[in-house]
Amino acid sequence: MVPKAIMDEALALDDYEKLKLIDALQRSLDPSLDDEISPEEAALVDERMADFRANPEEGIPFEEVIAEMRSLLA
């Protein structure tokens, strides 16, 4: 069981900090997540970032993404 003080601190984090904590916890459970991404994955990230930079109005604000994720999990 997680001590209450730790849980309270984790729940008080903002959404971005919570995501960073989740990532760190996942990596502690599965060290393979620390592996480098493949050249194909890097190219896909570059392509998507270029598309976003060319069309920023088509992006979805982080807050909306989180709200949608929460509604799907409810």
pLDDT in tens, 10-69: 999 998 899 999 989 998 999 888 778 889 999 999 999 999 999 999 999 999 999 999
Q: Does residue 45 share a domain with residue 30?
A: no
Q: How many angstroms separate the CA atoms of 68 and 60, rounded?
A: 11
Q: Between 74 and 61, whose confidence is greater?
A: 61
Q: How many angstroms separate the CA atoms of 38 and 5, rounded?
A: 39
Q: Does residue 9 share a domain with residue 24?
A: yes
Closest CA to 58 of 48, 45, 68: 48
Residue 57's domain comprises 36-74
Q: Does residue 21 share a domain with residue 11?
A: yes
Tell me the pTM: 0.50
**The predicted structure's pLDDT at residue 13:** 96
**The predicted structure's pLDDT at residue 34:** 76
**The predicted structure's pLDDT at residue 32:** 84
Closest CA to 13 of 66, 68, 74, 71: 66
**The predicted structure's pLDDT at residue 36:** 81
CB proximity list for 30: less than 8 A, separation 6 or greater: none
- Looking at the structure of the chain, the number of domains it has is 2
Q: Does residue 41 share a domain with residue 29?
A: no
Q: Does residue 16 share a domain with residue 3?
A: yes
Q: Does residue 51 share a domain with residue 28?
A: no
